[in-house]
Structures are given as structure tokens and as C-alpha cells.
Amino acid sequence: MAKQENAVPLLDNVHRVIADRGCAVLSLDVFDTILWRRVPRPKDVFALLGARLRAEGLCPPWMGDATFRRMRIGAEQTARRGRVGLGSEVSLADIWRFMPLDTPGAPFGDTPLERFVAAEVALERELTVVDLDIAEVIRAARKQDVEVVLVSDTYFTEDQLSHLLDRPELGPMEDVRVFRSNQHGTAKSTGLWEIVLRDLGRAPEQIVHIGDHPVADDEVPAGLGVRTVHYRRLDDPYRDVLRREREPVDPHGDHAPDLDERHGDFGLTSLRAKAVHSGVPYSTSALDVAWRFGAGVLGPVLTGFAEWAARRAHETGTRVLWCTMREGELLSQLINDAARARGLDVEARPVWLSRFVTSLAGLDAHDTEAVHAFIRTGYRLTVRQALSVLELQPGDVPGLATELDTVIDNGDVADRVARALTETPHLCNRLAVTVTAARERLIRALREAGALDGPDLTLVDLGWGGTIQRHLARALDIARIDIAPAGLYLATDARAERVYLAGLRAEGYLAQAGHPADVAATVTRSPEIVEQCVNALCGSLIGFTEDAAPILGVAADSPSQNAERRTVQDGVLAFQRLWNRYVTAAATAGEAPWPDLAEPEAARNRLARILVAALESPTADEAAVFGNWVHEDNFGSATVTTLLPRDLKPAIPYLSPGDLHDLDMRDSFWPALISASDTGLGAMARAVAEGAIDREAFDPAGEPHDSRLRYRTADDRWHEPIRRRVRINHNGLSFARFRFEHHDTVDISIAIPGRPAIVRVDWIEAEVIAGGRRHGEVLRWDRPEDFVGLHYADCRYLGGNLMEFDTSYAAVWLPLARRAGTRVVSSAQVTVAFAMLPQSMTGMAPRMPVDRRAERSARAARLTERLREEYRAAGVKGVAAGAGRVARRKLGDGT
């Protein structure tokens, strides 16, 4: 994308008008135009003022920040109402006269009013920031001898406003005419503009005005003929983002959370808005969504992470940080720019590492359990792919010759493969040779990159469980290299415990070792979008050549996904450029240092809230864009899935917030993306995420009940049930999903409602791995002819797609293996979409009438199927034996 040096394309036209001397006067609003505050809303300054006064002993300890803010807002409103014939414009002193200063027992004692006024002006001076883009416009106007005037609705006096505007970035302001509302007794929207035009003696068309208010700075002056630029701070999409972050947007609304007593919101609210608006117009709405996500969400989060990583390296004396690829390309650039802006002697470099390469390099080839765990790490690898990953040929392991295309989808297959690879010294040695060669290539690559030149090695990564760091430490230890790698991460969860138990240092910026729990749980449950946005546009690392060059897998990304990802990263970098611009400007101006995001708790909390809210409550536009992005398994597997799984799209009308919570990583990498696709579900999910309601509120009333799936194996054994809570969502519909694995599964039974109920089964879908087939096969039951021949235990088929379940354990049986045309299946994912009408648990409710034709059809279908199975099992003799058993039962002769 094209880069805007001044970061505001909106002002480009103003620069051209000034350069061409196309105007005689440049008029500017003051607040949220020339100056903006490091708080979300102007009135949030009052909360910080309360904290400042309390610290100075001028405010009682019992008066909290929110209380003082409410008092200060109320005093201003009262002051404006009390003016009567003098108009509603007031001064700061007028406002403070309505605070309880001199009444008996007043909370502020006998401190004079002037002290409080001075304290408020001093705090405004600390929190206000010169808008650097507007400062450039002012310099351009002065260069062309264009008169500059200020028009402001303000309660500050001339001296107070001059103090606030006395900034090196603005240059001398003594010759600038200022039109203040409290000076003239009228606001811009009620008459001040007429005074401005009269006193300037200029035609309206000769004036260009820039301001943030849609009425006072745009509609009213434009109606008088003034050329206006609406320099808006917040647009509607950005306000929606702030609302999902639980950031109050009403000017007089609730107290803002996570405000630092010294730095407010660190300027994040305003700089995010500026970064979002700094992008050029895009050819598609998808790219605009991607830009906003990068500039407004990931940009501030990763800027804070980069500052923290650079600061931690500086504090520990670490000269070089090593950023693991594929994330390392962007992360190293962010850290280097952060270190440069802050004057830190720290350098970040990308280094090729991956979970796959480091786990192979640290593998114990003689440990069957370790080999088993390594094989299971890949998703749906075939035996052939597993051998290829280990650099073995099919002929090297004769015991697996008949299973090369078998999918390793369950523990039994993985056990057989692991035992086959470790059962003889010869194969153990072959595997050890592979592991040793992989480790030596990895170490050579690290040496050539310079990562092993010093006494320490600090990795920077997004994080989660510290797997790469732990496996790398083991590989280095095996190679007798006395370096214990450290790690700096955006967040780590409880899995990082293994890193700490290995004696390694691993620090997390937003969360560490699963704390804070809500942040760690949300970020590590839906990490895929963050990883995808940060990754370089290439495949994952699967190994190194003999000369230490990286070998990359095939990237599965589409051209549109690459364009969107690149745009997200452009947005991230745009935010950091803007942030660092203010860091540098503060240092150049000799002002107080620009606040950093590395250490303050309020900064981390605010950034965590930005990221968590985006992951918990994506917008419908974000769901439409990111839902089509694909994820490759990148551990030797060729499996590619979309972030919004295709198989769950038909299930969206059946889902409740609790169902979303129950989905595991393989069901959906980003469950909230599903809820964003449905208005009702999205509203409920947001209410749960905001703590307004519990997930359990969407469960049926009374005793909770579970859908239960049991599977029968070839030894005629029924295994323990897998349970899923039964819920009824806003559409009156229910959903259940089960996943199981066993190498010789034949049938399953599903107690769908888990209680007496009449159930309408809309569809049942089972994705099974059967007969050693490489790809899953989808089996579906959704028509009356599909249901009519099933076996019903303590339940009845009523016709159509209706069933009546009489007990909590009543179940319908599904013949998975037979339906798949194979002897057994080895794993399955089973989804049920249904609606239910609960019946009395006593079993005394009247039963539904049965469709007799459907009952006869079901009986005939079951008999036909039984005969077919007996014929397949024992031929004509089997059919005859079965007929004999039926006859004896009818005659009451034995069993």
C-alpha cells in the first residue's frame, strides 16, 4: 500500500490548497484537533484529576476517581444552567464555584478555588498532546503567509489556553487570533462563527476550517460558506470496536477502565483512531477490514509487545534477540523500530525454527513413548507421511508395508507404528541417524545465523506453550552446547509449566503460565488469527539442507488471503510508525518522555482487553473476511482447514454460547467467528463474553441432561459414553458433537436428548476414517428412509424425522462401519442437529401416536438388514440359523 508520511490522507487536500495559496485564512479548532488528550474521552481527565488531588491531600481518601469525575461533570452542567440570560458559556472558575468548596464540612476543606483551577490546568497541560499532522499544516500555512486563527468552544481563559498551546511543535502562537466561546458568550453552533467572519473581514470562501465536531466544525460553518474539513476522531466502526472492548463511548458515560494515574490511556484511543484513518482507500471492503484489524487491534498490541521485548533485553544485558520464523520477520522489524525509537542498544534478528524441526532434533529414538508422542503431534498423518517425516523409506520398515496409507488417527495405530520403528536395534539406529542428522543441520543453521555466538540465546515468539524453546534446549543439551535458551512471549498458558520445570526462563507480556486466566485462556484458545496475521508469506519450516538453508513446506494461502494478510501487517506497522513518531517528537521537544507500554499494569491490561475482545467478539465483517482464511497443519500433514470450518456452517442455527465453548481446537480454531456469522448467536455470545449473563442461562430449566454417545467395537464391547450437555438455543434448536477414536469400531448408539423427550432429528453427520482410507468419509442421515431402518433401544421411530425417547438412556443405533462399506472404522466425528420437546421424567406422559406404515417399514428394514448381516457373516447357514432363533422365540422355546 502507499505510505502516507503525515499519516492523514484527509489533510492532503489542505496542504495543496495552502501550497497554491488557495485560501487566505486557516482556521483551526483546538481540542481534538490541534491538541488531543491521552484519555479515551475529554471528561476522563476529571478521574485522573481526582487521583492527583487525593495524592496531594486536596481530596478526601473516600472520594474515588469515578465519584470525583461525576461531581466535576455535574458542576459544569449546573454552572451552564445557572447562567440564565448570560448564555451557557462558562469559565473554569465558574465551574469550580459549583463544587462544594466553602460549605460546612465540605470534602475539599478551605483550599482556595484558584488552587483547584490551577491543578486542573496543569493536568490538562500534561495530558494534552500536539497533533503532529495539524502542526505540519500550521507550519505550511505560515510558510505561505496564510493567516492562522483558532476557533474553540472552551471554558479556558486566554492565558490558560496560551499555556496549553505553548509547545515547541507549534512554534510561536502569540500572533494567532483566538476566538473563544466563553469570551464571546456563544458557542460555534449558536453564533460564534458569525463573530469570526465579522471580525476577520473575510469572505467565507477565503477561509478553510479544520475541526472534529460534525456540527460546530462542519455543518454550521459550511452553511455559512466556509470551506471545512471534518477532522473526525472516531467513526462508527471504531466506536463499535471500543464498545466490544467495554470502553465507554458516551461523553458523560461510565468511568473508563484501565486508566493510568499519570499517563491516562497512554494515547492509545486517539492513536488507534488516527492509524485506522491513515490508510488509503482500498479496492475491496475485505482489505479495509484487514487494515482496520491491523491498525486498530494488532498494531497497538504488537507495538506494546515489541517495546516490552526490547526493554527486557536491555535490562538483562541481552544484545541480540532471535525471533522465530515465520513470525520472526515482522516481530524483528517491530522490535528493532521500538529499540531505535527508545534509544536501546538491542537488535532483533529472524531465525528459522519450528515446532516440528526442534521436536525432531530433540527426539529420543530409543524411547517408544517419545516416538509415539512425536507421531501423534501431526494431524491425520498417514503411515507413509510419518515415515517420510522421519526420512525413512517404506521398505526400511517391513512391518508397516501393508499400512502405508493408513491414517494415524488413533492411539492403536500410533502404537503399532512406534513399536515398529523401535522394535529392533537396526531400526532404532536408523531413526537415531535421522534425528542426529536433523539436529546437526539445525545447529549448523543456528551457528551460521550467529545465534550460538554468545553465551545466551533469547527467543522471541508469540508463545503459548514454549514448545520450541523446550525442544531446542533438549537438542542443545544433547549436542553438549552449554546454552539454555530463554523466551520472551506475547502470552504463555499452563503448558509452559514444562519449560519452567526444565529450568528455563520464559516470560509472557500479556499472560504468563496461564495468568491472568481470562487473557491466557482466550488468546491460547483462538491463537490462529494472531499467528496467521503475523506470519511471513511462506510455508512452514520442515527442515534444513546440508548447507543450512531452510526447507519450507508448501504455503496453502490463496492470493486474496495473502493480500489481506499483507494489509493487516501494513496496518500493524502503520500504528507503530505513528506511535514511534510521538515517542521521537516528545524527546525532540524536550517534553516529558512519551509513556511506554512495557511495564505499566494499566497499559498491559488495556492491550489485553483490546486483543481479548477482538478474539471473543469479532464483527460480522471480520468473520466474513477471516473466516475464509486457511490453516495448514504444518507438521508433515497435508491437511488444510478454514478458520470458519465448512462443516459447522450448517450447524450455526443450532448452536448456543455453551456449545461454542465446548468446541475443541479441531472443531474450530476461532469459535467466536462462528457466532459473528449469526445475529442472535453473536448477541448472546457477546453478552456471555461481557459477563452480562452466564452460559448456563441457555441450558434447559431443571436438572441438566447430556447427550451420550457409546461406540461398539468388533469384540462386541460397548465403551463408556462420551457426554455433551443438552442445550436449547434462541431458535429452540439443539446441537451435539462427539469425537472418538478406536481402531475397530463397528456401531455407535446416541442417547440424543438424555431424557424422555420427543425429538425431531434434522440431521446426523458422521465423518469417519474407515478401512485405512486416507481421507475422511462423510456419512449422513437426514431423510425418513435413512431413519426408518435404524435400531431403536427404549425409543420409537414416529415417522418422518420424529423419534420418541422414553428414558434417559434410550438411544438410536447407527451402523457406521456398514454404512461406510467397511468392516470397521478407526475414528469419527459425529454431529447431531435436533429439536426436542421434553417429556415427564416419570414416564407417565401420554405417548405420541405411531405412524403404523412407518413402523412396518422400520421393522421390515431391520429384518432385511439382519438377514444381510447374517448372510455376510455365515452365508445361507447363517440365514437359516437366524430364522431358527426367531421361530424359537415366537414359540417360547428357549433363547
Burial of 895 (0-12, 13-18, 19+ CB in 10 A): exposed
- Which residue in the block uniquely carries the three cell numbers 490463496? 558
Residue 894, helix vs strand vs coil? coil
- pLDDT on residue 893: 44
DSSP code per residue over 833-855? EEEEEE--TTS-SPPPPP-HHHH
- The list of the chain residues with pLDDT below 70 reads 1-8, 84-85, 379, 633-640, 771-774, 843-895
Cell readout for 239 is 466506536
- pLDDT on residue 3: 35
The H or E element spanning position 525 is helix 517-525
- pLDDT on residue 553: 82
| Strand partners for 836 | 759
Sign of CA dihedral 631, 633, 639, 644: negative
Cell readout for 869 is 448381516
Q: Where are the strands (E) in 402-505, listed by range? A: 458-464, 486-492
Alpha-carbon Rg for the chain, nearest whole angstrom, is: 34
Contacts 24+ apart (CB under 8 A), 216-220: 216/29, 216/153, 216/187, 216/188, 216/189, 217/29, 217/33, 217/188, 220/188, 220/189, 220/193
- pLDDT on residue 678: 85
DSSP code per residue over 433-451? HHHHHHHHHHHHHHHHHTT
Supply φ then ψ for residue 832, to 5 degrees.
-125, 125
Is residue 377 within 8 Å of 363, Cβ to Cβ? no
Cell readout for 255 is 468511568
Closest CA relative to residue 422, chosen from 370, 381, 463: 370
Q: Nearest 5°: CA angle at 832, between 831 and 837?
A: 160
| Residue 454: other Cβ atoms inside 10 A | 12
- pLDDT on residue 460: 97
Contacting residues for 691 by C-beta, under 8 A, at least 6 apart: none
The H or E element spanning position 574 is helix 559-589
- Distance between CA atoms of residues 222 and 235, nearest Å: 20
Cell readout for 833 is 442437529
| Residue 501: other Cβ atoms inside 10 A | 9
Contacting residues for 500 by C-beta, under 8 A, at least 6 apart: 506, 513
- pLDDT on residue 284: 83
Compute the CA torsion angle 832, 837, 842, 848 (nearest 10 deg).
-100
- pLDDT on residue 414: 83
- Which residue in the block uniquely carries the three cell numbers 497499559? 603
Closest CA relative to residue 188, chosen from 150, 234, 146: 150
Amino acid in position 549: A
Amino acid in position 211: G
Sign of CA dihedral 667, 669, 672, 677: negative
DSSP code per residue over 91-160? -HHHHHTTSSSSSTT-TTTT--HHHHHHHHHHHHHHHEEE-HHHHHHHHHHHHTT-EEEEEE--S--HHH
Closest CA relative to residue 810, chosen from 834, 791, 785, 787: 791
- Distance between CA atoms of residues 793 and 747, nearest Å: 14
